Structure 1
């Protein structure tokens, strides 16, 4: 469990962004402030989780689309295993699917990369205090998406308790949707995820199932009684 920082203690932060210039800039920007301590920086989602497990920071400043694991997946893992770590998304993506997916996964705050230093530090301080901060663009997108989000739902898909090939439940769910003839945009819309995230999931599904294409993946799903 992460200990709450004392008033005199700096906030311990992990920065995760796959763009080296952005990541290094954020480390420099925050590291110069006396009430922040950067305990690690990661170029992808998997390393971000490893750094959080190692350092138990107060907060993570997290890009949304990264290699290995994207920001939404990292957020889910952090909420499940490190619930005391405040999650602040900092990304260029501000479409309704990305915003809703991140907030539903458990992100506390969501900013775009044109946010000022003051806005970023305010979001980090607020998030560690349990408060949510949304950038102006994010608030606008969220309001516009309210009606659509009200009708979005997780598909009711039966899955066996033990999944083949090391598939995660999300990957198996997407594989079943592929087998049912759904396109990538269909799947993204139904799961309220970005097309980029769906493509990443499908690439991992192909790798784990040894499938060169969707037809082979559907055959795998049928051979393993997923559909």
Structure 2
């Protein structure tokens, strides 16, 4: 089944470039475009895309404001932020607002495909170039006391190992290959980790991992 994409960016050249890249990726098609965040909710309700590729900085309504409105209206489509911004606080805000992934605009076609594949498979995706930044920001928040009020739950050694890899931006396929496990086994562990921690997004997992010293900047 073809995965349906909606492009939201105020630069027509960027939209044209992304559309061209997507046309070379089997199994994906662009079904619509918008040039401002104010149009996001309307387009999502009308077109029902599987994944939205959303810019942050736009003329009238920012991507983050549009994303907040989208989630407030109960829309469950996946959202992949596509931005030039590398500010750690902005990235964390995007993830906490409901984005499923964050991709830099200077990415390659290969990484775009990896990000789309991850979101299509109900995974999260962070550009490797910003994964370190997100961890660093989580450390700063943890040190300043800005962290979720989650109680610590015991995880098995294997679950801790997989959690570290998830936080470092590894996909389910990469984790399975690296640990010599089946993809189904890794998916089961991932589901159990999130259920046990009651955390269902990358930003929350990063904060938990940093707070509990499961991962550090040297990992």
Shared fold (TM-score, shorter chain, > 0.5): yes
1:122-147 Cα offsets, whole Å, 9 max, x none, are 21221132201101222011111123
Equivalent position of 2:53 in the other structure: 61
Q: Does 1:73 align with 2:69?
A: no
Helix, strand or coil: the match of 2:125? coil
Rounded Cα–Cα distance in structure 2 between residues aligned with 1:136 and 1:127: 16
Q: 1:87 to 1:117 in 2, by over 3 A?
A: same
Equivalent position of 2:119 in the other structure: 127
1:1-227 correspondence to structure 2 within 5 Å: 9-150=1-142, 151=144
Q: 1:152 to 1:89 in 2, by over 3 A?
A: farther
Equivalent position of 1:171 in the other structure: none
1:181-219 Cα offsets, whole Å, 9 max, x none, are xxxxxxxxxxxxxxxxxxxxxxxxxxxxxxxxxxxxxxx
Report runs of 4+ in structure 1 exceeding 6 Å deviation: none
| TM-score normalised over the length of structure 2 | 0.62
1:15-62 Cα offsets, whole Å, 9 max, x none, are 111111111111122134331111101111012222111101000011
Q: Give the unaligned 5+ runs of structure 1.
A: 1-8, 155-227
Report the count of equivalent residues.
146
Helix, strand or coil: the match of 1:145? helix
- Contact 2:88/2:137, CA 8 A, preserved across alignment: yes
Which has the larger Rg? 1
- Contact 1:45/1:66, CA 8 A, preserved across alignment: yes
Rounded Cα–Cα distance in structure 2 between residues aligned with 1:67 and 1:153: 31
Helix, strand or coil: the match of 1:110? strand
Deviation at 1:63, TM superposition (A): 0.8
Equivalent position of 1:184 in the other structure: none
Q: 1:152 to 1:104 in 2, by over 3 A?
A: farther
- Contact 1:27/1:41, CA 8 A, preserved across alignment: no
- Contact 2:56/2:63, CA 8 A, preserved across alignment: yes
1:86-132 Cα offsets, whole Å, 9 max, x none, are 01011000111210110110101001111111211221221132201
Deviation at 1:64, TM superposition (A): 1.2
Q: 1:73 to 1:14 in 2, by over 3 A?
A: same
Deviation at 1:152, TM superposition (A): 7.0
- Contact 2:55/2:83, CA 8 A, preserved across alignment: yes
Deviation at 1:84, TM superposition (A): 2.4
